[in-house]
Structure 1
Amino acid sequence: MSAQAAAHETVGSIRRLSPALDAVIAPDAKIEKLADGFVWSEGPVWVKDGRYLVFSDVPANIMYRWSQKDGKSVFLQPSGYDGPPTKVFREPGSNGMALDAKGDLLVCNHGQRAITKLDLKTKARSVVVDRYQGKRFNSPNDLAVAKSGAIYFTDPPYGLEGLDASPVKELAFNGVYLLRADGSLAVVDDRVTFPNGVALSPDEKRLYVAVSDPNGPVIMAYDLGADGLPTSRKVFFDASALHKAGGPGLPDGMCLDTEGRLYATGPCGVLVITPAGELIGVIETGGPIANCAFGEDGKTLFLTADKTLARVHLKTTGLVW
């Protein structure tokens, strides 16, 4: 570890629930706090071309940039809603993000109620999709990009003041969607109460969706057919016991390593779960963690943890970084 990295304050702890975690995290691994002062940090994405991280502060309507060299700086403000003052939004900024094959940033934009595209060099923005059957989305939350260029994304009402009771909510459900590379839009699931984080398995035959419902905090798994839509759905991991025990947070953002292990934020912190659904460890900062993403050398897991940004060095390589 470099002298620069060693200078960061360490927080939290790593809880080992199985010897299988030894292949993931070294016994002496530490969680480093890199920056703080956020309202609710979210949506981290590592940009290899420039070696920096971008992430969101959703309520503050700011997108930040962080690098080991330069630290934290404002990258885009406003990151979402840019109109006159309004009481429509409870969280008006950008949320989950991902890079497309061209290196542009795809953004779940609460304030525009759309998936938007951001040119990282010019910061020019455009709308990718903002409606289903003529009705505006609620507030797109997170997304995953397939090798084909197709985009899976979730659309809960978290960006809207009043949530499901918002007078501007046009859709009767909170959906999980598939936007195909040809521009066609399909519903993956319209029965999930509060769909949140979303991720694809290494072979892209399984889709994971976090459900951030305190009355049913679970991670769903969908086996996908050749058309990209589910052939089956099941509860992959039930976080109810962790939530009832008082663990901070709910199922939220997630990512995978190349071996298919899921790093899913939820009650207590980042839950490390095998492809078979076994919880083998928890990365805990002491508070709720909204999302996580791999970066740097591919073995660094960045954590957007409430008011802070943190990282932990792992032994495994991220699927997307």
Structure 2
Amino acid sequence: MVTKSAFVSLLPFWTFDFTLAQLASRCAPALTNVACVDKFAAVMPLPFSRPASPSGEGLSDLDRFHITSVDDPSFTLVRDAPFVVFNQKLGLDILGSAPTLEDVFTTDPVVHEAPIYVPELNVIIVSQFNPNILDQVLINLNNSPPTMEPFRPNPPIFGVNGGRFLNGTMYWAVAGGDAVVNGTPIVQAPGIYAIDPITRVSKPILNNYFGQRFNSPDDLVIDSAGDIFFTDPQYAFQMNLSQFAPVLNQQTYRFRPSTGEVTLIEGEIGIPNGIALSPDEKTMYISDTSSTDFVNHSPDVGFSYKSNAPKAVYAFDTVESPAGKYLLNKRPLWFPSEFGADGLHVSEDGNILGATGASVDIVTPAGELLVKIQANFTVINVQFAGPNLDELWLFGIGRISRAKLNLKGLKGGRS
């Protein structure tokens, strides 16, 4: 029998083999811009560290997976690669044989949001989300290389934060309220707006909840029945896009344009932001960006970022009713390792794409991270475009980029 004291005396003589495999490798000789991470880098050699943010404030200081300080020469591949694969079987199929990521435009340092692809015109219309800018942007894909020009609907709309396209009409989630933008008085309330991309005629289709102003409609998605689901955080007042202080909780609604009925469908997520539907419409995804804390209605808009605050993406089962879809079975789908998922989109095969600020995460419907696209700027949203919806455009601050992968968007504008 071995006594406790004898057992303890044996411990110094035991040898543990903690030999680690290299963290990353070149996936294939031909894929020089792709790094494959072994077993999700589940064990890193000690010591290692990854700061939440170099300064703790501002989008320019977002933490990124590839800045991890780790004693493994193979990790240089992760730092240098625009595409990082975590599941080789599924991830390499998504990338295809020759994935590319290119900067197409260098822009002013403003947020570009609400990208919409208009197939009839073969253009992308994207907003400039800034309290001092009225014009939006049209990217003409008929030109080679693509060109940019101003886009202004009639009447003009500012503070556009989310968008989708359905049956020839653009639908915008508009955060901006009454304001004077560069000398132009704009009389509008936050809400949902419909725009004809050809005539550029715009009109509000929803601007209140029983007489109360919405806070800041952020993003939206449209189902096959034509119902519009949108998130309504409180960013507009905090970012000086509206002079009206919030009066409603931050929550998510269903709007039925045919009847005008608007209904609360989710009210427990801290700051609801991105929203998307699975191809079969049986699952809805909503992101939480409670990791952002804006300075409340300050002349100098800014915010702090907390990596340990809620920022998960949640999945819900959708259940049909005479009034439209409602949500059941809320569960966390994935927790972005970086800033948080702003824009959410779904590919033709059902994978979820989240613009996480530092990158674009491609995740399975079960929540497994397959691929991370590492951009060289802050990514706020993405959009599939092109006649075959096989170009993935990345939008954010300072640059607009285009990725070409083995991935397509949903037809009908729901991606």
Scaled by the length of structure 2, the TM-score of the pair is: 0.66
> Which residue number corresponds to residue 265 of structure 1?
355
Q: Does 1:235 align with 2:343?
A: no
Q: Report the structure number with the largest CA radius of gyration.
A: 2
Q: Percent identity?
A: 23
Secondary structure in 1 matching 2:92 = helix
Q: Distance in 1 between matches of 2:151 and 2:218?
A: 20
Q: What SS does the aligned partner of 2:91 have?
A: helix
Cα distance, 1:271–1:136 mapped onto 2, change above 3 Å: same
Distance 2:272 2:81 in 1: 28
> Which of these residues, 9, 17, 31, is aligned with residue 86 of structure 2?
17
Map 1:144-293 → 2, pairs under 5 A: 144-161=221-238, 168-171=245-248, 173-180=249-256, 181-214=258-291, 215-227=309-321, 228-239=325-336, 242-243=337-338, 249-266=339-356, 268-293=358-383
Extract structure 1 runs of 4+ deviating beyond 2 A. 77-81, 180-183
Partner of 2:105: 35
Tell me the amino acid that sits aligned with residue 113 of structure 2.
E
Indicate the structure with greater helix content. 2
Structure-2 change in CA distance of 1:238 and 1:72 (3 Å): same
Please point out which of 179, 183, 191 is paired with 1:114: 191
Q: For residues 205 and 119 of structure 1, do their structure 2 counterparts lie closer, same or farther at Cα, with a shift above 3 Å needed? A: same
Structure 2: distance between partners of 1:55 and 1:26: 27
- The answer (yes or no) to whether the contact 2:237–2:244 under 8 Å persists in 1 is no
Taking the TM superposition and a 5 Å limit, the aligned residue runs for 1:296-315 are 296=386, 297-315=388-406
Shift of 1:175: 1.2
Shift of 1:161: 2.8
CA distance in 2, matches of 1:104, 1:179: 16
Report if aligned partners of 1:303, 1:311 keep a CA contact under 8 Å in 2.
Answer: yes
Q: Which amino acid aligns with 1:46?
A: Y
Question: What is the root-mean-square deviation in Å for CA atoms of aligned residues?
Answer: 2.2
Q: Partners of 1:133 and 1:291 in 2: how far apart?
A: 31
Letter aligned with residue 114 of structure 1: G
Name the CA distance, whole Å, in 2 between partners of 1:167 and 1:49.
37
Unmatched 5+ stretches in structure 1: 1-10, 82-91, 244-248
| Aligned counterpart, 1:45 | 116
Question: SS state of the match for residue 24, structure 1?
Answer: helix
Cα offsets for 1:234-284 (capped at 9, x unmatched): 111112xx23xxxxx321002111211001111531100011110011011
Deviation of 1:61 (Å): 3.6
**Do the aligned partners of residues 162 and 49 (structure 1) sit closer, same or farther apart at CA in structure 2, a change above 3 Å counting?**
closer
Partner of 2:160: 94
CA distance in 2, matches of 1:106, 1:22: 34
Give distance in 1, aligned partners of 2:317 and 2:107: 40
Give the 3-state SS of the residue equivalent to 1:315 in structure 2.
coil
The letter of the residue matching 2:122 is R
Q: Which has the higher contact order (CA 8 A, sep 6+)?
A: 1
The one-letter amino acid paired with 2:116 is: V
- Counterpart residue type for residue 213 of structure 1: S
**Structure holding more strand per residue:** 1
